[in-house]
A and B are shown apart, each in its own frame.
Chain A
């Protein structure tokens, strides 16, 4: 029996200790947010927060969690309503297939919690581990900007790079 804390609640699961956290979240705890994309730490679809740091849940054996607390997309709610990032993604219609979106939101959450006023370049490099095949990037960037503003911060700079 392994105990883990997810979105503020303690759970006990009966799985092999080497089972990646991702499979426990999805199959044992029925949380849909984190997705299987590669199982290799290459795409970020499985991103969750471990004590406020974004990690690839596909690479973390559940037995290695220890006392660290897990937060998933489902945990990013404020008083039963979607939190600033999910609402901003909805407002910007920042999804096509949406398979990557949970990972995007969770990784962006980690950034904005640490740095409420990142530059556009910081947002881009922070999100670099996460892949989107639909090409929703521009909307995702707009959604992060909107959420940052809603959280009292903002995203600095324009997107355009200088040579």
Chain B
């Protein structure tokens, strides 16, 4: 394009965007939240001269397939092949700040923002093409990364963009692309999988930088402990050891080779350890939490007449222990302190909050810290990712210029990761003479479900420096999302129903966000209790649920799972064989998920096997149905592991679940025989994100199936072989018996 033409075109582009602004000015139209926070189009999408498009997201790939789904959203709306898109994920130098990648929010937040931004960009490109072709914009067809005129003329996006500034504000509610090939709804193969199955560089653990050193952090065996003083001078003389870094109570060892760092770590740990925090209470920690002082928070209050005087009350109490994220790959980070800037490659779920916390820890301005997300092993919530980033940064600062890779040992991951809180739920319902629910009370006790760091005090190392940074005071997460109260509000249209969250501030063990937060426990309790009520009234569990479920999409999901499972024709429970059903809508505002499954319980060993699972899921418009299935399948298997096997153990001095032998999880022989997931697509409906939707329903369906198989209900997770056997003993001492 000539200089003159280019200038005229630019001028025209401004007019175009002005015209567009005029079109979108309606006051009631709002940008989706991520886009409202970062409204300039070029923060999200840039069109390169060669026609390739770079898309930016503040969310991170965690193995949930977000890289692929977001690429699909952008490709679809830009009318171009996904292969023409490069997606840049969470990086504080490059991408928008979208907080943390958590709570199944990525498709809702970033997916919606990118969809909208891409629709804006497509409209701008179309208007630019219209001007060049000198025809009306509505005659232009955008396809395969180019604008096409009816007479066959074509201009690629690269050429169109040369004269177009995307440094303009997004307009709300841009119309979605219609017609043409749909990229949304396709099972585009995951873009990250080829490297993962061939040994390509895929993880932060795989980063190798020139001159990189290896480090290990030195800590006691678990949170609440510290190592005793060791002979540091001797360790510094070990072959390959570059430095033992000490700042206050923080200690790390840096060496030329990784194994040498490990050997030095072992030598430093050999000095022994002691408990530095108050002793751990001797009782089961869920009981401890139940009895500690708590702040009462109302979680819901559904109106209705008081229960009739002759109503019968059913009560039950459910609980779960502390659970571990248990990433298969221990947390890792690479950090480099160079030219007054700290760069950290991290698998943290929140690069911006981490940057803020690290800046405070290192006493730097935030702009002097760059956090770049690189995948780690699956995290399922707040694990050691942020802590290890701080550990690596402190180690790197002690060896200026040198990149330092620091990975936790398995025992450190098990010992120090923040756990999912233990919880207790008490439910009571009143049934009237017609066997209808006339009243409902939900009470839940829990520690916080988020201690994600936003300040230095939220990082392990922050508490070890001298002086230490203060640990922030935990606060309950308000509804409708909720933390311990998440999904405590039943989705059923119940009258006269109230719920209270007993928020317990004091934490006997380090805890934070674990996939689903309180939803797994609350759904386990509510959905077990619905079955108990159905049994008390002689109703079929699915029919009983449908009687109280008004939302049509919820009903569809319940019916689909029941049909595909063959619920009406299922065999009657008994003799160790049973079926169970459960449903929840995540947070009562996101993905609907129903699970039906069959169990076989070995009455001698107490082991539970799950031959078949059928799930149905509605997460709004399905961008990549197979990706949703993958998430739900994984969620089901993981939740069955939590529910049948897992409990973090403690003694008075420390966490006793120090490795996989002390904290077993499901292995191949015990995973389900078959898992079938049916995705109900809702084109045009908002994206809802499916990452956490299955945790509660899978747990409750299992509990219900075991009750069906044994005729005895187990209300305390895990439904371990010991608990199953204890429940089957002729004289039972069951603490939380339901009273009829």
Q: Does A57 contact B (CB under 8 A)?
A: no
User: Are A138's CB and B328's CB within 8 A?
Assistant: no
CB-based nearest A residue for B201: A32
User: Chain B: interface residue count, which band?
Assistant: 35 or more
User: Are B410's CB and A95's CB within 8 A?
Assistant: no
- How far is it, in angstroms, between the C-alpha of A124 and the C-alpha of B257 when the chains are bound? 36
CB < 8 Å neighbour of A97 from B214, B326, B375: B375
User: Are A38's CB and B197's CB within 8 A?
Assistant: no
User: Are A93's CB and B328's CB within 8 A?
Assistant: no
Binary contact readout B624-649 vs A (1 if CB under 8 angstroms, 0 otherwise):
00100011011111100100000000
Binary contact readout B174-203 vs A (1 if CB under 8 angstroms, 0 otherwise):
000000000000000110111011111111
CB-based nearest A residue for B601: A163
Known interface pairs A135-B633, A135-B636, A138-B633. Does A32 touch B326 (Cβ–Cβ under 8 Å)? Answer: no
User: Are A98's CB and B196's CB within 8 A?
Assistant: yes
Q: Does A56 contact B (CB under 8 A)?
A: no
User: Are B635's CB and A161's CB within 8 A?
Assistant: no
Cross-chain pairs A/B with CB under 8 angstroms, 9 sampled: A43-B410, A77-B198, A90-B193, A95-B193, A99-B376, A124-B671, A134-B328, A135-B641, A163-B577
Q: Which residues of A contact B (CB under 8 A)?
A: 15-16, 18-20, 23, 26-27, 30-33, 35-40, 42-43, 45, 72-74, 77, 82, 86, 89-90, 93, 95-102, 105, 121, 123-125, 127-128, 130-139, 141, 158-161, 163
User: Are B198's CB and A99's CB within 8 A?
Assistant: no
User: Are B196's CB and A135's CB within 8 A?
Assistant: no
CB-based nearest A residue for B672: A138
The 4 closest A-B pairs by CB, nearest first: A97-B63, A135-B637, A98-B196, A97-B378
Q: Does B360 contact A (CB under 8 A)?
A: no
Q: Does B548 contact A (CB under 8 A)?
A: no
Q: In the complex, how many angstroms separate the beta carbon of A99 from the nearest chain B beta carbon?
A: 4
Q: Does B435 contact A (CB under 8 A)?
A: no
User: Are A98's CB and B197's CB within 8 A?
Assistant: yes
List residues of chain B with CB within 8 A of the CB of A100: 328, 377
CB-based nearest A residue for B414: A38
- How far is it, in angstroms, between the C-alpha of A77 and the C-alpha of B380 when the chains are bound? 32
CB < 8 Å neighbour of A35 from B329, B609, B611, B665: B329
- How far is it, in angstroms, between the C-alpha of A43 and the C-alpha of B330 when the chains are bound? 12
Q: In the complex, how many angstroms separate the beta carbon of B471 from the nearest chain A beta carbon?
A: 28
List residues of chain A with CB within 8 A of the CB of B667: 128, 131
User: Are B378's CB and A133's CB within 8 A?
Assistant: yes
Q: In the complex, how many angstroms separate the beta carbon of A57 from the nearest chain B beta carbon?
A: 12
User: Are A101's CB and B197's CB within 8 A?
Assistant: yes
User: Are B199's CB and A159's CB within 8 A?
Assistant: no
**CB interface residues, B 660-679, toward A, < 8 Å:** 660-661, 665-669, 671-675
List residues of chain A with CB within 8 A of the CB of B659: 38, 40, 42
**CB interface residues, B 148-178, toward A, < 8 Å:** none
List residues of chain B with CB within 8 A of the CB of A30: 208
- How far is it, in angstroms, between the C-alpha of A159 and the C-alpha of B192 when the chains are bound? 29
Known interface pairs A42-B660, A102-B199. Does A90 touch B189 (Cβ–Cβ under 8 Å)? Answer: yes
Q: Does B320 contact A (CB under 8 A)?
A: no
Instruction: Supply 17 further A-B pairs (C-beta < 8 A) apart from A35-B203, A39-B409, A135-B636.
Output: A27-B214, A35-B205, A38-B330, A39-B410, A74-B198, A86-B198, A93-B189, A97-B329, A125-B669, A130-B668, A134-B638, A135-B635, A135-B637, A135-B641, A139-B633, A159-B611, A161-B611
Q: Does B302 contact A (CB under 8 A)?
A: no
List residues of chain B with CB within 8 A of the CB of A77: 198
- How far is it, in angstroms, between the C-alpha of A123 and the C-alpha of B671 when the chains are bound? 12
User: Are A37's CB and B328's CB within 8 A?
Assistant: yes
List residues of chain B with CB within 8 A of the CB of A161: 600, 609, 611, 673
List residues of chain A with CB within 8 A of the CB of B661: 40, 42
User: Are A159's CB and B673's CB within 8 A?
Assistant: yes
- How far is it, in angstroms, between the C-alpha of A86 and the C-alpha of B638 when the chains are bound? 24
Q: Does B108 contact A (CB under 8 A)?
A: no
Q: Does B64 contact A (CB under 8 A)?
A: yes
List residues of chain A with CB within 8 A of the CB of B633: 135-136, 138-139
User: Are A137's CB and B637's CB within 8 A?
Assistant: yes
List residues of chain B with CB within 8 A of the CB of A134: 63, 328, 378, 634, 638
User: Are B189's CB and A138's CB within 8 A?
Assistant: no
List residues of chain A with CB within 8 A of the CB of B329: 35-37, 45, 97, 99
Q: Does B612 contact A (CB under 8 A)?
A: yes
Q: In the complex, how many angstroms separate the beta carbon of B217 from the nearest chain A beta carbon?
A: 15
List residues of chain B with CB within 8 A of the CB of A74: 198-199
- How far is it, in angstroms, between the C-alpha of A45 and the C-alpha of B377 when the chains are bound? 11
- How far is it, in angstroms, between the C-alpha of A9 and the C-alpha of B669 when the chains are bound? 36
CB < 8 Å neighbour of A93 from B205, B258, B378, B630: B630
Q: Does B588 contact A (CB under 8 A)?
A: no
Known interface pairs A36-B329, A128-B667. Does A95 touch B609 (Cβ–Cβ under 8 Å)? Answer: no
List residues of chain B with CB within 8 A of the CB of A97: 62-63, 328-329, 375-378
CB < 8 Å neighbour of A99 from B189, B378, B611, B641: B378
List residues of chain B with CB within 8 A of the CB of A90: 189, 193-194, 197
List residues of chain B with CB within 8 A of the CB of A130: 668
- How far is it, in angstroms, between the C-alpha of A18 and the C-alpha of B257 when the chains are bound? 13
List residues of chain A with CB within 8 A of the CB of B202: 32, 98
Q: In the complex, how many angstroms separate the beta carbon of A4 from the nearest chain B beta carbon?
A: 15
Binary contact readout B202-244 vs A (1 if CB under 8 angstroms, 0 otherwise):
1101101000001000000000000000000000000100000
List residues of chain B with CB within 8 A of the CB of A31: 199
Q: In the complex, how many angstroms separate the beta carbon of B259 from the nearest chain A beta carbon?
A: 4
